[in-house]
Amino acid sequence: MAALQKSIDKRNALINATIELVNNDGFHATPMSKIAKMACVSPATIYLYFENKQDLVNKTYIEVKANYTAYAFATYDETMPVEKGFKVIWKRIAEFKLKESADAMFLAQCDNTPMIDEASRQEGIKHLQPLLDLWARGKKEGVIKPVSDYMLYAYSINPLSFLMITQNRGSVKLDKEHLDQAYEAAWSSIKTCK
């Protein structure tokens, strides 16, 4: 039991080291030895938990993505009305991106880079299903614009990534007021105009 916990701790330490180092230096500029050192294990130990470097980063991506979506939908409930549901999800996503910025930066880098297997990318996307279901419901009810999910995502969710990166570079600090503006912009770009 204690042994199992130690294993889990090591795996987590490796995942976290990967996130931090890849954020700072990029995937290929991050040696396995550095990851090992930051996680306080031997380089060889990494290979007990992951097949190779690509597998390590793939698994890290999937794990972070899973955390992200779990957080996003934690307070959402499929019985909510569409607008309410969207607001709940959007706020959680914003919170995650701006508070768990290391995780969010890592995802942004993975999503704009050929560093992740296509298979792992697909795996990561699956978790977004509740949001797509919400949008489907919204379209049927005539509350959400009848456009493709990619378009909805591009205008209501993805801007948060840009704002998160900008904030992390120090160019701007996003307070509550900004977030409200952002939500307004997000919602107004996907709701049907009466």
Partner DNA sequence: CATGAATGAGAGTTCATTCAT
Partner DNA sequence: CATGAATGAACTCTCATTCAT
Interaction partner, residue 154 (DNA, a second copy, none; CB < 5-8 Å by kind): a second copy
Contact 30, 21 (CB under 8 A): yes
Q: Residue holding tokens 């955390």? A: 67
Burial category of 159 from C-beta neighbours within 10 Å (exposed 0-12, middle 13-18, buried 19 and up): middle
CA-angle at 55, arms to 53 and 61, nearest 5°: 105
Residue number, 12 or 112, with CB nearest to a second copy: 112
Interaction partner, residue 70 (DNA, a second copy, none; CB < 5-8 Å by kind): none
Cβ of residue 67: shortest distance to DNA, in angstroms?
A: 23
Cβ of residue 77: shortest distance to a second copy, in angstroms?
A: 27
Interaction partner, residue 71 (a second copy, DNA, none; CB < 5-8 Å by kind): none
Residue number, 99 or 162, with CB nearest to a second copy: 162
Rg of the chain, C-alpha, whole Å: 19
Residue number, 18 or 69, with CB nearest to DNA: 18
For residues 48-85, b (16+ Cβ closer than 10 Å) or e, as one string? ebbeebeebbbbbbbbbbeebbebbbeebeeeeebeeb
Residue number, 32 or 128, with CB nearest to DNA: 32
**CA 101/CA 99 separation, integer angstroms:** 5
Cβ of residue 10: shortest distance to DNA, in angstroms?
A: 5
Q: Estimate to the nearest angstrom the gap between the alpha carbon of 87 and the chain centroid.
A: 18
Residue number, 102 or 165, with CB nearest to a second copy: 165
User: What is the tally of helices (H) and strands (E) in the chain?
Assistant: 11, 0
Q: Residue holding tokens 């050192």? A: 37
**Which residues would be at the binding site for DNA (CB under 7 A)?**
3, 6-7, 10, 28-34, 41-48, 52-54
Cβ of residue 166: shortest distance to a second copy, in angstroms?
A: 5
Interaction partner, residue 81 (a second copy, DNA, none; CB < 5-8 Å by kind): none
Interaction partner, residue 12 (a second copy, DNA, none; CB < 5-8 Å by kind): none
Residue number, 10 or 178, with CB nearest to a second copy: 178
Interaction partner, residue 101 (a second copy, DNA, none; CB < 5-8 Å by kind): none
